[in-house]
Amino acid sequence: MTTEFATSSQPLRFAIVEDDLFIGQLLSHMLDSAGFDSEFFPFGTDLLKSPNLLNFDAIILDLSLPDMDGFVVMQRLAESTIGMPVLLISGHDVAVLHAAKLYGNGIGLKMRGALTKPFSEQEFFAAFGLKG
């Protein structure tokens, strides 16, 4: 499977937007163990206000955040013409995730998929066309 990531000598950088500290740390550990870099954001506003926002290669976005839902985060990312791919993760029903992915595509985001928690490491990396 091909990826849309540019070849670089620098490791890929992922933004993890997840309010559950355990899941955020687990995702960060998975990425770090596979040779990638990650930054954890417990709130959507933290990501949107990050001075590093344009430096990420991809965003992993939980739909349920304490300050705003993932739909609002996606809308603001689309308004700011952020071009990196977005992977949705959530404990919500598959139908909700599917609708969120369609919404993201509809507003111009590069949606890489939607995973229902819990998901496997293989499913996670496959969504980006990467090997973990």
CB 77 within 8 A of CB 50: no
Q: Does 18 have pLDDT greater than 70?
A: yes
Cα separation, 79 vs 11, whole angstroms: 27
At 30-89, the pLDDT tens digits run 999 999 999 999 999 999 999 999 999 999 999 999 999 999 999 999 998 778 999 999
Query: Tokens representing 64?
Result: 């349920």
Q: Tell me whether residue 89 is in a domain.
A: yes
Name which residue leads in pLDDT, 88 or 5. Answer: 88
For the whole model, what pTM was predicted? Answer: 0.92
| Domain membership flag for residue 1 | no
Give the count of beta carbons closer than 10 Å to the beta carbon of residue 43: 16
Residue 7 domain-assigned (yes or no) = no
- The predicted structure's pLDDT at residue 2: 39
Is residue 61 in some structural domain? yes
